Amino acid sequence: MTSLLVFGNAKGGTGKSTLAVHTAVGLLRQGKRVAALDLDPNQGSLTRYLENRRSFHPNLPAPDILPLAADATSEGLLAAISQLAPNADVIILDTPGSDTPLARAGHAVADTLITPLNDSFLDLDVLARVDPASHKIVRPSSYSEMVWKARQDRFKQDRGQIDWIVARNRISQLGSRNARAMEGVLGDLSTRIRFRQAPGLSERVIFRELFLQGLTLLDLAEAQISYTMSHVAARQELRNLLDAIRI
Ligand SMILES: Nc1ncnc2c1ncn2[C@@H]1O[C@H](COP(=O)(O)OP(=O)(O)O)[C@@H](O)[C@H]1O
Ligand SMILES: [Mg+2]
């Protein structure tokens, strides 16, 4: 059985593509066979990331990736999944930060959906309306509704369930009132719209430096990049996140 692991959020810039590559490499390093599909052909971040990896570090483990056309349909997606599945324990799907037919189709096949969330009430707004004074949840909003629909579609298709995980990303290392308030609201929301919270990742410059060489935090030794304390801490956060995903 191949697990389908989808990275999704209705907002861009939350770390979907970054985390998709890191998770793919983390699972490869655990000995799993990993394939990837880029459902965001306009930006193509996942594709570009893995191209860089192949060009500059051909000896590092990399997932198989099948190109999808910008106008691919859900049939095209299912065909690509069928093609990859016999040789993959896990297929990673990276989706765009917008509601496209391909993004919806990707969500509806997920076994696990991981939503990275910037530590900001502006980003939380796509999950739920929050009362500004009491921080009580007023109602779920657009992206939560899309996931709700994907869960219904998934159940209709094969009685399957989507394990939805929300992980905060780019958390300020300074700690703040905002971060504590976000934690409180996410705790309430997780029981209300049924997701699990995974340990998040701090904001660290290293994440922005790795793309050009197609590297992840799990490759630093082999790529002969010297470690700093910050890299070690970031790698530990990533490992905690991968443990929580439990593939
Ligand atoms: N934990 C982090 N710390 C610092 N920068 C990050 C972190 N995670 C992601 N980034 C940066 O944030 C930006 C958006 O990430 P990306 O993976 O492209 O998001 P998405 O795919 O959701 O649009 C990129 O510049 C990326 O390098
Ligand atoms: Mg992306």
The pLDDT score that the predictor gives to residue 99 is: 92
The pLDDT score that the predictor gives to residue 176 is: 82
Q: What residue spans define the domains of the chain?
A: 3-245
Distance from the CA of 126 to the center of ligand 1, in angstroms?
18
* Atom nearest to 205 CA in ligand 1: 4
CA distances from 153 to 43, 108, 143, 200, 246 (A): 27, 6, 15, 28, 23
What percentage of residues in the chain have a pLDDT greater than 70?
A: 100
Distance from the CA of 14 to the center of ligand 1, in angstroms?
6
Ligand 1 contacts CB of residue 168 (under 6 A): no
What fold, for 3-245?
Rossmann fold (3.40.50)
Starting from the CA of residue 119, give the closest ligand.
1
Q: Shortest CA distance to 98 belongs to which of 169, 167, 21, 40?
A: 40
Tens digit of pLDDT for each residue in 76-127? Answer: 999 999 999 999 999 999 999 999 999 999 999 999 999 999 999 999 999 9
Q: Residue 10 pLDDT > 90, yes or no?
A: yes
> No. of H helices and E strands in the chain?
9, 9
Instruction: Over range 7-32, report the average pLDDT.
Output: 97
- Mean pLDDT across the chain, nearest whole number? 95
Ligand 1 contacts CB of residue 17 (under 6 A): yes
Ligand 1 contacts CB of residue 96 (under 6 A): no
* Residue 175: band (very low, low, confident or very high) from pLDDT cuts 50, 70, 90: confident
Tens digit of pLDDT for each residue in 119-148? Answer: 999 999 999 999 999 999 999 999 999 999
